[in-house]
Structure 1
Amino acid sequence: MKIGIISRNASLYSTSRLVDAGRRRGHVVRVLDPLRCYMRISRGKFDMHYKGRPLAGFDAVIPRIGSSVTFYGTAVLRQFEMMGVYTPNSSDAVLRARDKLRSLQMLAREGIDLPRTVFGDYPDDTVDLLQMLGDPPHVIKLNEGTQGQGVLLAEKRSSSQGMIEAFRGLYANFVVQEFIGEAGGGDLRCFVVGNEVAAAMHRQAPEGDFRANLHRGGKASKVELSEEERSVALRAAAILNLGIAGVDLLRSRRGPLVLEVNASPGLEGIEQATGLDLAGSIIAEVEAGFARLSMA
């Protein structure tokens, strides 16, 4: 197979691991910077060029699209789809996952439990909005933030109102959620590949912080999931139609809660914590998905 990795940086751990895993399995693998891809759209015909030359002959592409290039990156991915190229995560699925509010709405509709969440725009409604949510602490989260950026904890209702006003002053889209204190500053990253949870790790926030993201100094360790946690992670990825996903869960008194679903989950932390070859698992899933598409 000829596989493209849509990534802005070939030296990133996740990108280089996918390249190595694909080549070890006998595939031709090429990293494609989405910002250097450009396309022509005409009736019944879709073409793509890269750095002055046509892009053709790809069997599959694996998107590793950063949040800063979501619009253009998903446009490139969609063009590949229009050209008949297989991808485990479609452009629409990536967009659904990248929009925290939309993904939470979809998950809640299908019966997935999650931290209580409120969303509103008009300043005069802030007091009633927070009453709908309940007592603080509250977590205020940018709608398209990643790696713990744009996530704040408000201990008091007045702090929540002040942070909300500040985000509105920046014309930012955000959600406000209940704080799950019993999680103890930890969460679970469930790495979904196809129809299974291929790996899971527990992430613990550093002292004095509540964000367990590894990019914020969190510590990772291998963890055994309960059957309920495994089922919730698989359902969440399926609802968003993601073949590759990082599903973040909180352990709460009422059971596992989905915090968010990531369409481009990083490999470094979880491969190191578990010792598993997740890059190889992803390539194997791409092989199986391409085979299914070829037989359809």
Structure 2
Amino acid sequence: MKLAILSRNSKLYSTRRLVEAARERGHSARVLDPLRCYMRIASDGFDMHYKGRPISGYQAVLPRIGASITRYGCAVLRQFELMGSVTPNSAEAIARARDKLRTHQLLAAQGIDMPVTVFGDNPDDTVDLLSMLGPPPHVIKLNESSQGAGVILTEKPSASRSVVEALRGLYANFLVQEFIAEAEGADLRCFVVGDEVVAAMRRQAPKGDFRSNLHRGGSAEAVEASDDERKVAVRAARVLGLGVAGVDLIRARRGPLVLEVNSSPGLEGIEAATGVNVAGKIIENLEKADKKAKRRRS
């Protein structure tokens, strides 16, 4: 299988592991910076060049597209799809998952539970908007935040109003959610590949913080996800159309709640905590998708 990995940095742990796993299984793997890919789009076909040379014939593409280049990265991935490449995460699925508001609407429509969320635009509605959520603490999130950046905890009504007004003044898109106190700063990262959770870890926020992201100093340990947690994680990924996803859950009294669905989850933390060859699982799943595509074409 000729495989392209879309990544801006070939030295990143996740990118290196995917290359290693692909080559260990006998595949050709090349890392392509999506910002150096450029396209010809015409009714007679689709072409792609990379750093001055035409590229084609990639049976599969693994996208590692950062949030800052979502729009262009998705355009490049879509071009590969139109040229016949299979991918576990389509351009449309990635764009869907990057929009937290859209993600929550889609998941809620399928009965998947999550922290209660409110969203509004007009400053005149702030007080009533917050009343729809209930009393603080509140968690305020930028709509396209990642790795815990742009996530704020407010503990008083006045603080919630002030943060909302400040973000509106910056024309930022954000959500406000209920705070799940019983989680005690911990969440569960379920790594979904295909139709199963291949690894899971419990992440704990550092003392004095409520964000459990490893990039924010959180710690991680392997954990066995319950049947309900596995089902919720797989369903959430499926609703968004993702074949590879990091689904973050909170263990609440009312059951597992989906916090976020990441379309480009990192491998370093999950592999280190669990010892599972997650990169190998991703390549194995991609092989199955490639075989199905070949059968459809024959």
Given the alignment of the two structures, is residue 121 of structure 1 paired with residue 121 of structure 2, yes or no? yes
User: Which aligned runs of 4 or more in structure 1 are off by greater than 6 angstroms?
Assistant: none
Q: Which residue of 2 aligns with 1:109?
A: 109
Q: Which residue of 2 aligns with 1:81?
A: 81
In the aligned structure 2, how far is the partner of 1:57 from the partner of 1:122?
50
In the aligned structure 2, how far is the partner of 1:160 from the partner of 1:293?
50
- Secondary structure at 2:158 match in 1: helix
Tell me which amino acid in the other structure corresponds to 1:288. Answer: K
Q: Which residue of 2 aligns with 1:39?
A: 39
Measured against aligned partners, the alpha-carbon deviations of 1:103-130 in whole angstroms (never above 9, x if no partner) come to 0000000000000000000000000000
Tell me which amino acid in the other structure corresponds to 2:63. Answer: P
- Secondary structure at 2:292 match in 1: helix
In the aligned structure 1, how far is the partner of 2:292 from the partner of 2:198?
20
Shift of 1:274: 0.2
Tell me which amino acid in the other structure corresponds to 1:233. Answer: A
Q: Which residue of 2 aligns with 1:201?
A: 201
Shift of 1:294: 1.2
In the aligned structure 2, how far is the partner of 1:172 from the partner of 1:294?
45
Shift of 1:169: 1.0
In the aligned structure 1, how far is the partner of 2:234 from the partner of 2:26?
29
In the aligned structure 2, how far is the partner of 1:55 from the partner of 1:158?
56
Q: Which residue of 2 aligns with 1:178?
A: 178
In the superposition, the TM-score normalised over structure 2's length comes to 0.99
In the aligned structure 2, how far is the partner of 1:274 from the partner of 1:267?
11
Shift of 1:212: 0.3
The aligned runs of 1:223-238 (5 Å cut-off) are: 223-238=223-238
Tell me which amino acid in the other structure corresponds to 1:249. Answer: L
Measured against aligned partners, the alpha-carbon deviations of 1:77-123 in whole angstroms (never above 9, x if no partner) come to 00001111100000000001110000000000000000000000000
Q: Which residue of 1 aligns with 2:162?
A: 162
Measured against aligned partners, the alpha-carbon deviations of 1:148-174 in whole angstroms (never above 9, x if no partner) come to 000000000110000001111111100
Tell me which amino acid in the other structure corresponds to 1:135. Answer: P
Q: Which residue of 1 aligns with 2:93?
A: 93
Tell me which amino acid in the other structure corresponds to 1:259. Answer: L
In the aligned structure 1, how far is the partner of 2:81 from the partner of 2:44?
13
Tell me which amino acid in the other structure corresponds to 1:212. Answer: S
In the aligned structure 2, how far is the partner of 1:44 from the partner of 1:91?
22
Tell me which amino acid in the other structure corresponds to 1:180. Answer: I
Tell me which amino acid in the other structure corresponds to 1:6. Answer: L
In the aligned structure 2, how far is the partner of 1:169 from the partner of 1:214?
30
Q: Which residue of 1 aligns with 2:290?
A: 290
Q: Which residue of 2 aligns with 1:188?
A: 188
Identity across matched positions, percent: 68
Shift of 1:237: 0.5
When the two structures are aligned, how many residues end up with a matched partner? 296
In the superposition, the TM-score normalised over structure 1's length comes to 0.99
Shift of 1:198: 0.2
- Secondary structure at 2:124 match in 1: helix
- Secondary structure at 1:120 match in 2: coil
- Secondary structure at 1:17 match in 2: helix
In the aligned structure 1, how far is the partner of 2:49 from the partner of 2:65?
18
In the aligned structure 2, how far is the partner of 1:44 from the partner of 1:182?
58
Measured against aligned partners, the alpha-carbon deviations of 1:126-153 in whole angstroms (never above 9, x if no partner) come to 0000000001000000000100000000
Tell me which amino acid in the other structure corresponds to 1:117. Answer: T
- Secondary structure at 1:232 match in 2: helix
In the aligned structure 2, how far is the partner of 1:207 from the partner of 1:165?
29
Shift of 1:5: 0.3
Tell me which amino acid in the other structure corresponds to 1:115. Answer: P
Shift of 1:277: 0.4
Measured against aligned partners, the alpha-carbon deviations of 1:253-282 in whole angstroms (never above 9, x if no partner) come to 100000010000000000000001000000
Tell me which amino acid in the other structure corresponds to 1:30. Answer: R
Shift of 1:10: 0.2
Tell me which amino acid in the other structure corresponds to 2:292. Answer: R
In the aligned structure 2, how far is the partner of 1:17 from the partner of 1:139?
34
- Secondary structure at 2:58 match in 1: coil
In the aligned structure 2, how far is the partner of 1:107 from the partner of 1:119?
16
Shift of 1:44: 3.8
Q: Which residue of 1 aligns with 2:214?
A: 214
Shift of 1:293: 1.2
